[in-house]
Amino acid sequence: MTQLLIPMLEGTLISLKIFFFTLLFALPLGLLVAQAKKSKFWIVRKIVNIYIMIMRGTPLILQLIFVYFAPFYIFNTSLDRMNAAIVAYVINYAAYFAEIYRGGIQSIDKGQYEAGKVLGFTKAHTFFHVVLPQVIKEIIPAMGNEVITLVKDTALAQTIGVAEVFRVAKTASARDFSTMPLFIAGVFYFIMNGVVSKVFERIEKKLSYYD
Find the shortest distance in angstroms from Cβ 30 to another protein.
Answer: 11
Q: Which is nearer to another protein, 145 or 179 (CB)?
A: 179
When the beta carbons of 171 and 193 are compared against another protein, the nearer one is 171
Sequence-distant (6+) residues with CB within 8 A of 144 are: 196, 197, 200
Q: Which is nearer to another protein, 18 or 139 (CB)?
A: 18
Identity of the residue, 38 or 206, whose beta carbon is nearer to another protein in the bound complex: 38
Find the shortest distance in angstroms from Cβ 171 to another protein: 4
> At its nearest, how many Å lie between another protein and the CB of residue 145?
24
Cα 39 from Cα 125, distance rounded (Å): 18
Q: What is the rounded CA–CA span in Å between residue 56 and residue 75? A: 26
CB 169 to another protein: min, Å: 10
Query: Cα–Cα–Cα angle for 134, 198, 149, nearest 5°?
Result: 80
Toward another protein, which CB reaches closer, 157 or 209?
157
Q: For residue 126, which amino acid is it?
A: T
| Site of interaction with another protein (CB under 8 A) | 3-4, 6-7, 21, 24-25, 28-29, 31-32, 35, 65, 69, 72-73, 78-83, 86, 123-124, 128, 158-161, 163, 167-168, 170-175, 177, 179
- Give 188 or 194: the residue with its C-beta nearer to another protein: 188
How far apart CA 114 and CA 144 sit, in angstroms, is 31
| Least distance to another protein, CB of residue 88, Å | 13
Q: What residues contact 146, with CB distance under 8 A and at least 6 apart?
A: 93, 96, 97, 100
Q: Least Å distance between CB 84 and another protein?
A: 9
Concatenated DSSP letters of 76-103 = S----HHHHHHHHHHHHHHHHHHHHHHH
DSSP category for residue 119: T
CA dihedral 22, 25, 26, 30 (to 10 degrees): 180
